[in-house]
Structure 1
Amino acid sequence: MEASVSLRIDDAALVKLVTELATLRGVSEADAAKLAVRAELDRVAPSVPLRERFSALRTAHPLPPRTGQAPDKAFFDDLSGAP
């Protein structure tokens, strides 16, 4: 269960920005503030480097074993409609 917390904002420019976002998104000011804070937290959160993400993907979905056969260029040209 969430605790009820009140946040008082005395910055007119911030209130204007939150109100503008709320209007554009069609949500309450509280929801607009949550959206903005969540977006910023997601933006600055450390991300997993691409090399690590790709490695995990290759581990989860390995390539099939090599067949030892040479590719049939004529077959693939025919598939792609190449002359």
Structure 2
Amino acid sequence: MPLYIRDNATAELVAKLAKERGLTKQDAVRLAVQAELDRTREAKPLRERLREWREANPLPPPTGLKADKAFFDDLSGEGE
């Protein structure tokens, strides 16, 4: 089934991709469309990506120490 691109800007983008990759225009269109389909399929909502990251990188348990000015001064060597 033929595909006609009537938009000059789109045709120029396809030609540019084909030239940069050493492809035919048909292969450039196939590559671009497949990449977009893959990207869309693999995209996860931010909430889910953050949940997975938090599971892989949990917060350390609470130490019970008070994080006040004196604590940070001591960390930076400014405490007395």
TM-score range for the pair, normalised by the shorter chain length: 0.5 to 0.7
Map of 1:74 onto structure 2: 73
Q: What does residue range 10-49 of structure 1 map to in structure 2 within 5 Å?
A: 11=4, 13=6, 16-17=11-12, 18-23=14-19, 25-29=20-24, 30-42=26-38, 44-45=40-41, 47-49=43-45
* CA distance 1:26–1:48, shift in 2 (3 Å): closer
- Over aligned residue pairs, what C-alpha RMSD do you find? 3.1
Q: Following superposition, which runs of at least 4 residues in structure 1 exceed 4 angstroms of deviation?
A: none
- Count of residue pairs brought into register by the alignment: 70
**TM-score relative to the length of structure 1:** 0.56
Aligned counterpart, 2:48: 52
Identity %: 38
Q: Which amino acid aligns with 1:59?
A: E
- Describe the SS at the equivalent of 1:51: helix
